[in-house]
Amino acid sequence: MSNKVIAGVAVAVNTEGFMTNPAEWTREIAVEVAKEEGIGELTENHWKVIDFCRSSAENGKSPTLRTITNGTGLTTKDLFALFPKGPAKKVARIAGLGKPEGCV
C-alpha cells in the first residue's frame, strides 16, 4: 500500500495501482487514470459506465462485466470498444474502485 499523486491529489493505492479508498476519487482523477490506460478522452458512454460502477459498487469493489451490461444497456462488445483489452479491470481503476470481487 502506498500513496500516489493523481491530478494533484495524493491518494492511497495498492501494489497493482488500484485506489483503495473510493472516497478519495474525483472526476479529474478519472480523466488522468484513463490517459494512463491509453484512453485519451472520456466520452458520454465512458461516463455512463463509470457512473454506473460508482453507484453500484459494493464494499468498494467494481461490479462484474455482466452487472455493467445489465445495468447500462451497453453490450460486452461496446465495453471492449470503450475500454480495450480488459474492460472490467480498466473501469475499476478509472472509477477508483477495487477489482471486481474474484469469483470462486
Q: Smallest distance from the beta carbon of 74 to another protein, in angstroms?
A: 13
Note whether 60 binds another protein by CB under 8 A: no
Q: Smallest distance from the beta carbon of 27 to another protein, in angstroms?
A: 26
User: Cell 479491470 belongs to which residue?
Assistant: 89
Cell output for 77: 462488445
Taking contact as CB under 8 A, which single stretch among the options 1-9, 17-25, 39-47, 68-76 is the one that binds another protein? 68-76
Note whether 55 binds another protein by CB under 8 A: no
Residues that bind another protein (CB under 8 A): 64-67, 69-71, 76-77, 80, 84-86, 101-104
